[in-house]
Amino acid sequence: MSEGTIIIEAMYKQLINAWNDRNASGMAELFHPLGELIGFDGSLAVGTQGISDHLTPIFRDHPTPPYI
């Protein structure tokens, strides 16, 4: 397995763990500062702060199911 594959798999696991922990800032910090997140409804969040701001009310107000 290449070093790049190992890094990508580790980041993927961090992303899934942040989702399952309902950790908006932890999940957002895994994105590039100019990264984008597209929600299930097509909404767009841009940048680390924008992604965190988008996820915070979702985790606060909705019982998000875990990824396994």
Structure tokens at 23: 């950790």
pTM: 0.87
pLDDT tens string 38-68: 998 999 999 999 999 999 999 999 999 999 8
Cα of 46 vs its chain's centroid, Å: 12
Give the model confidence (pLDDT) of 7-34 as tens digits: 999 999 999 999 999 999 999 999 999 9
> Mean of the per-residue pLDDT values for the chain?
96
Domain ranges of the chain: 3-61
Range 3-61 has CATH code 3.40.50.150? no
